[in-house]
A and B are shown apart, each in its own frame.
Chain A
Amino acid sequence: MNSLVYLRRMIINQKPARLDYTKGSVTKSIYYERAGFEGSHNEVAQKLREVFEADSVNVVTSTDFNPLTNKRVFAPQAISSALAGYTFNAEMRASLLSFTMRLPPLIVRLYPMQRYAFQDNSAYMKMHMQYQHNGSFRMQSYVSQAENTRDEIVRLRVMMATYILGLIAPMNAPRNEDHQVTQSMLQRNAPQSRKRKTSILSRIIDRIRGL
């Protein structure tokens, strides 16, 4: 499932990139930039489904691309469309379950996916509620609690959407770093500053949960 990793990094990076993917002997590409994936709604959804099932994937980041069209599909909309009614065979299911097993304890971001017609929004809401209730989220438990095959498909689609769009992240922030907050600290982009920020946020979340 390296295609999920590549898609996530493309989207989080927000930089122009081209994703080349191969299925069988056919290689195709999809172009991405901050405004979204290049192409019409249907084209992008179809290509993303092909990316999910690709044998190999490669990403090239560059600002030198010459897009064929001005049409862009915003990432949440594109992923929602690609996953609408998406089902998979036994091999794909096995890959997705294997991928799920590798995910660490997670934090979950609440994002208005319903505004992008995400069909599995209610399952996503339940996922966020589980996170809110427990303070961390185990994707493995969430998927294994599926009541039937259809429910498992829905939960795996939610896993795919939240992972690709960066709505889940590992719960591994350092909690007790000694440092001094300055006014600019929370606004700087240096990695060290972000680590400090995640430490502060984690400590505040723990405290508020205990109120």
Chain B
Amino acid sequence: MTEEKQIVKLVITGPVNAGKTTMVQNLSDSQIAATDVAATDQVSQLKAMTTVGLDFGILKIDDSLEMHLFGTPGQARFNFMWKILSKGAIGAIFLVDSTSDESMLEMKKMFEYFSEHVDLPVVVGATKQDLPGAKSPDEIAALLELGDTMVIPVDARVKEGSKMLALTLLGNALVEAQAGEEEFDDDDYDYDELF
């Protein structure tokens, strides 16, 4: 009998034109399915093509595990998709354009929805930090009221940047999961056990 392959999801989201499609490409080892079309609304002022469906990529982890990467459309009106995407997901990466006030506003709406409806490890990648007028990660965290969510400068065009962001998210999730294994009762206060 063939063993069924395990599949987990990583969601990459955020406002329009922040670099989500590129990040999905950077972290996938299979042909990406991108659903870009010519932008017709306000988005057309930012870029010629925008994602209307899902960017999708697969990273094969080993013979029995695959990670499916979903790049979700960057408008808050697509928030309803979280209900589906968050099932079986190991975390979410938000990308935000550090130079754009519109991006910040949209991101705030998206993150508010996410905080209320989704329980997943999350990090925020602040893209375009090299451009004039870019807000610093701390300014972005304060502006968006991100609480304890980490904001990390990232160049989404560079593969190493995408890797670093994903590794930070997964490393944080791993520490949380490991710490969660440290449950103990009153009797377990044995200081010889450090963890």
Contact = CB atoms under 8 A, between A and B. Distances in A.
A198 B6 contact: no
A194 B147 CA distance: 25
Nearest to B170: A205
A95 to B, nearest CB: 12
Nearest to B174: A201
Interface of B: 3-4, 6-8, 27, 29, 59-62, 64-65, 67, 87-90, 119, 123, 138, 141, 148-152, 159, 163-164, 166-168, 170-184, 186, 189, 191, 193-195
A65 interface: no
B174 A107 contact: yes
Interface of A: 1-2, 5-6, 9, 12-13, 58-61, 99, 102-104, 107-112, 114-115, 131-132, 166-170, 172-173, 178-183, 185-187, 189, 191, 194-195, 197-198, 200-205, 207-209, 211
A39 B97 CA distance: 40
A158 B91 CA distance: 27
B4 A112 contact: no
Nearest to B7: A181
Contacts of A59: 186, 189
Given A204-B90, A205-B170, A186 B8 contact: yes
Given A181-B6, A197-B177, A201-B90, A112 B171 contact: no
B42 to A, nearest CB: 32
Given A115-B141, A173-B178, A194-B181, A183 B88 contact: yes
Contacts of B62: 203, 207
Contact of B150 (A112, A173, A201): A112
B181 A203 contact: no
A191 B183 contact: yes
A36 to B, nearest CB: 13
11 contacts: A59-B186, A61-B186, A111-B148, A132-B164, A132-B167, A132-B171, A189-B180, A200-B6, A203-B62, A204-B90, A205-B171
